[in-house]
Amino acid sequence: MGRYINYLFTQKAKLDTDNKRRYYDSLLDPTVPTSFDDIYIITTIGDRLDLLAWKYYTNAEFWWIISAANPELRKDSLYLEPGMQLRIPQDPNTVLNLYQEQNQSR
């Protein structure tokens, strides 16, 4: 399940009458609480967020969960520098629920 699924269809668009454009609020990533079940890894050459999401969640679209759990990561690339320690939440459903709760009221 992607994080944008059904979002544009449930949120009302805001209209900018001066520019005659429609826009939507941006979505917010949740603050992912630490857990004793979290997995910690050291990155190696060629690691990417989407590949790690596939390895641990069998869903490459969950790359953003790993990114949200590690706020110190660069936000402009899926590639990771070798030697970094990453926290990977064991249960992606907890993060998905936090994400939905946080953005539902927007």
Contact between 65 and 55 under an 8 Å Cβ cutoff? The reply is no
Strand 21-23 and strand 39-42: the pairing is unpaired
Instruction: Quote the mean pLDDT of the chain.
Output: 80
Whole-number pLDDT of residue 12: 57
Over residues 70-83, mean pLDDT: 92
State the chain's maximal CA–CA distance in angstroms.
Answer: 51
**In the chain, what percentage of residues exceed pLDDT 70?**
71
The more confidently predicted of residues 22 and 45 is 45
How far apart are alpha carbons 71 and 75 in whole angstroms?
9
The more confidently predicted of residues 50 and 33 is 50
Q: What are phi and psi of 3, to 5 degrees?
A: -75, -15
